[in-house]
Amino acid sequence: MQSNLAKIPDLSLAPLAQLISSKKISPVEVTQAYLDRISEVEDQIGAFITLTGEQALKKAKISESEIVKDGARSPLHGIPFATKDIFWTKGVRTTSGSLIDANFVPEKDSFAVDLLQKAGAHSIGKAHTVEYAFDPTGRNEHYSTPHNPWRRGHYTGGSSSGSGAAVAAGMAPLALGSDTGGSVRVPSSFCGITGIKPTFGLISRSGVTPLSWTLDTVGPMAHDAIDLALAMNTLVGYDPSDPASVKTDPQIDYTSRIDAGIKGMIIAVPESFIDQLVDREVKEAFDSALYEFEQLGANVEKVEIPELSWGEMGSIIISTEAATIHRDRIKTSASKFDQRVRLRIETGFFVPASTYIKAQQVRALLGKRLASLYTRYDFIAMPTTVTTAPVLNEPLMSIDGKEVNTRETVIRHTRIFNQNGLPAISIPCGFSSLGLPIGLMLVGKAFNDASVIRAAHSFQLQTDWHKERPSF
Amino acid sequence: MSTDPLKDISRETFDAWAAHMGLEVDAEHLNKLYPETLALLKRMSSVHQVDVSEVDPMESTETVPREMLGTD
């Protein structure tokens, strides 16, 4: 088995998997190449809270023997992945980005990690997360804030901050993230990678430190749509230990119709909502991407979706549920929280039950209105974020002369789609003049995740944005 | 349509409530928590302004709209 180790970290998952399964490179070489890249750039980025290189190499050696003897048992066999540090990992500490759980060592793996390992993949480390996944910028006061691989001094986005940075910087070809208001899609957009928030219930959240049981969604992050399809083939599955888990029967193969194209599909663009607040360069890249979709045979239509302005109501659900989940931690260890996160959680104590239920009814109403919209349209398209990655630690930012709250602004487009459980993917669609990535979000019908991935793949066959890599 | 019962919560009421719920009642901390809570209460007001009469309360437990159930 011979290879050029230096180039491995720049490959995406699918070709890497092919090289491993055809025995042209070994899982040990692959894992070592990623560990070398981590050694090279981690000081500049800070993507990981805990590295598990030794364990990863041991598992890679086992995979190597298995593949030599019996062939690869799945496309993920021998593939290293980064695990957001809210996913429980047996015998490896899971901090959830907090001091309170700094020494928590789970006795079992989360369901998603277990599925990846059964497919032959192995975790290379626990990636940075915002404390208890409760912030979309990536800021973490306890373990430092990761830097954007494309431009140090800028956020990666969060809360799956390390996952986004690790994939973008070539420290792992695949990462697990979770998304409650945009936490897979925002870092995917800011870091120039591809990430999906699948339909609610498709991937189990068992063994993932919760933030909001109504909105939390597990999703994979990688370089491109094919990579996500391969990951979804492994990660989607019924788990009775997650009350939201759904059975999909028969099991969907997310790669099977990935080349079918999107000719004749109708894309809805809520342009007036987008135009209320968007960076000029982001909008230009988004408009160019829509043109590409039209070239692929899709029809793009402008629509009005007034309900998109209901996004901030999701914060009532998150705060109330987070207050319930973290009640004991707040009462016993309040001073150990990042004080910003603590305040967000504590506001949830003041939400009356009647208001929480009303917010849930509004969420259901939103679902009905979107269901009506989707009788005509196949996708909604928007810029994933209204801006490129903001400067670290700046609570306010300027968008075309308008001063706005950074934290609220980065999830302006994403959070509404957690409230209805719809599948939403973020794909790279350009770069700003500062060299920061720009993302486009496609939102599909419930359980039409394969169509969402197919549309993203069609776009990526026409464009090269997802092939760009940051330099170090 | 109902109205938000907490819209005009005073600082005194807020402090008493925080103590009742077992939160740290250090004045410096409450000085920060009070405006954050008021901001959330403001959002509550917008929730209470939405007419949800077409939603059966039972439907509020469904995260994925039942009208959209279907597969690729």
User: Across residues A187-203, what is the average pLDDT?
Assistant: 97
Closest CA to B29 of A394, A26, A347: A347
Asked if the peptide bond before residue A250 counts as cis, ω within 30 degrees of 0, the response is yes
Whole-number pLDDT of residue A251: 82
Domain total for chain A? Answer: 1
Residue A73 has pLDDT above 70, yes or no: yes
Residues of A in contact with B17 (CB under 8 A): 350
- Examine residue A96 and state whether it is found in any structural domain, yes or no: yes
**A258: in domain:** yes
Nearest to B52 among A199, A355, A361 (CB): A361
**Rounded CA gap, A94 and A125, in Å?**
11
A1 within domain boundaries = no
Chain B residues near residue A358 by CB distance under 8 angstroms: 2, 47-48, 50, 52
DSSP character at residue A388: S
| A350–B41 CB contact, under 8 Å | yes
The reply to whether residue B17 touches residue A350, judged by beta carbons under 8 angstroms, is: yes
Give the model's pLDDT for residue B41.
Answer: 84
Mean pLDDT computed over every residue of chain A? 96
Q: What is the pLDDT of residues A295-328, one digit of tens each?
A: 999 999 999 999 999 988 889 999 999 999 999 9
How far is it, in rounded angstroms, from Cα A422 to Cα A420? 6
Q: Before A159, cis peptide (omega within 30)?
A: yes
Q: Rounded mean pLDDT of B51-57?
A: 89
**CATH (domain of A289):** 3.90.1300.10
Q: What is the pLDDT, as a whole number, of residue A35?
A: 98
The beta strand positions in A256-352, using DSSP E, are 266-269, 299-302
For chain B, what percent of residues have pLDDT higher than 70?
Answer: 79
Q: Which residues of B touch A343 (CB under 8 A)?
A: 32-33, 36
- pLDDT at B47 > cutoff 90: no
Asked whether residue A325 is domain-assigned, the answer is yes
Give this prediction's pTM: 0.96
Write the residue in A248, A359, A367 that is nearest to B65 by C-beta: A367
Q: Is A439 part of any domain?
A: yes
Question: Is-contact A99 A62, C-beta < 8 A?
Answer: no
Q: What pLDDT sits at residue A407?
A: 93
Position B66 scores a pLDDT of 66
Range A201-215 average pLDDT = 97
What pLDDT shows up at residue A2? 42
pLDDT at B62: 77
pLDDT, position B39? 86
- The pLDDT of A5-28, averaged and rounded, is 94
Q: Residue A63: give the domain boundaries.
A: 6-467
In sequence order, the 6+-apart residues with CB closer than 8 A to the CB of A424 are: A185, A196, A197, A414, A417, A441, A442, A443, A444, A452
User: Pairing between strand A379-383 and A437-443?
Assistant: antiparallel
Find out whether A28 and A64 touch, Cβ atoms under 8 Å: yes
Suggest the residue from B32, B47, B61 to mutate for an interface test with chain A (most A CBs closer than 10 A): B47
Q: What is the pLDDT of residues A389-426, one digit of tens each?
A: 999 999 999 998 999 999 999 999 999 999 999 999 99
Q: Does residue A472 form part of some domain?
A: no
- Which is higher by pLDDT, B72 or A343? A343
Catalytic residues of A: 84, 159, 183
Mean pLDDT value across residues A221-239: 97
- Which residues does A390 contact at the CB level (< 8 Å), separation at least 6? A137, A154, A155, A397, A406, A410
Name the DSSP letter for residue B29: H
pLDDT at res. B3: 52
Q: Which residues of A touch B49 (CB under 8 A)?
A: none
Do residues A93 and A103 make contact, with C-beta atoms less than 8 angstroms apart? yes
Residue with tokens 């040990």: A28
Average of per-residue pLDDT across A281-301: 98
Q: Does B72 touch chain A (CB under 8 A)?
A: yes
Q: Identify all chain B residues contacting A245, using CB atoms and an 8 Å cutoff.
A: none
On whether residue A251 sits in a domain, the answer given is: yes
A354 or A108, which is more confident: A108
Distance from CA of B22 to the nearest CA of A (A): 7
Question: pLDDT-derived band of residue A28, with 50, 70 and 90 as boundaries?
Answer: very high
Tokens of A355: 């208001």
- CA distance linking residue A450 with residue A257, whole number of Å: 8
pLDDT at A1 exceeding the cut of 60:
no
The alpha carbon torsion through A147, A153, A158, A163 (nearest 10 deg) reads: -20
Region A130-140: mean pLDDT is 97
Confidence of residue A4 (pLDDT cuts 50, 70, 90): low
Q: What confidence score (pLDDT) does residue A370 get?
A: 95
Q: Which of B44, B58, B69 to mutate to test the interface with A (most CBs of A within 10 A)?
A: B44
CB contact under 8 A, A449 and B72: yes
Rounded to an integer, the average pLDDT of A111-133 is: 98
CB A448 within 8 A of CB A260: no
How big is chain B, counted in residues? 72
Measured between CB atoms, does B19 come within 8 Å of chain A?
no
Q: What is the DSSP string of A9-21?
A: GGS-HHHHHHHHH
Distance CA A245, CA A223 (A): 26
